[in-house]
Amino acid sequence: MATTLPEVSADEIPKYWAGDIDDFDVAYLQGKLGEVVDMIADRYGSLVAARLASGRLTERLYTATVIRIAARVWSNVDGFRRENAGQYGYEVNAAVASGTIWFTDDDVRDLTGVHPKQSNVIGTATIGRHEPGRTR
């Protein structure tokens, strides 16, 4: 069963993103926001829903994160990766230009409360060098 998460309205964009959205149709912006919500639901749905229900993830942070993720696409629709001024040249990232949505580690941490590169496995902390069998 799919998890349903709150939709984020395009009307919320100016609260969380300072870029110019006048060149974009509201339907396009709403579509990207919806795509992000669907991806979050697919990847982290029950965890994000539980965090929203408990208040550990606020609606404001959820909304800001959805907009931040979607804004990466509409803030660089041409997919520029690098641009030079002297003897002009540029490089385009096809994935970005195609509208591909991606999540940063901070996005995942904000949504799930877990840093993706940290393990929840209990381990041993070592202070200084440990050399078994050697005494100093």
Q: Whose CA is closest to 101, among 82, 76, 64?
A: 76
Q: What is the pLDDT of residue 100?
A: 75
Per-residue pLDDT tens over the stretch 14-39: 999 998 899 899 999 999 999 999 99
Examine residue 1 and state whether it is found in any structural domain, yes or no: no
The model's pTM = 0.74
Examine residue 40 and state whether it is found in any structural domain, yes or no: yes
92 pLDDT higher than 70: no
Distances (CA, A) of 70 to 37, 59, 93, 128: 10, 17, 17, 45
Give the chain's domain count.
Answer: 1
pLDDT category of residue 96 using cuts at 50, 70 and 90: low
Examine residue 135 and state whether it is found in any structural domain, yes or no: no
Q: What is the pLDDT of residue 15?
A: 95
Give the residue numbers spanning the domain of 76: 10-112
Euclidean distance between CA atoms 67 and 1, whole angstroms: 26
Q: Taking phi first (over 0 means left), then psi (-120 to 50 degrees means alpha), and beta for anything else, what does residue 8 get? A: beta
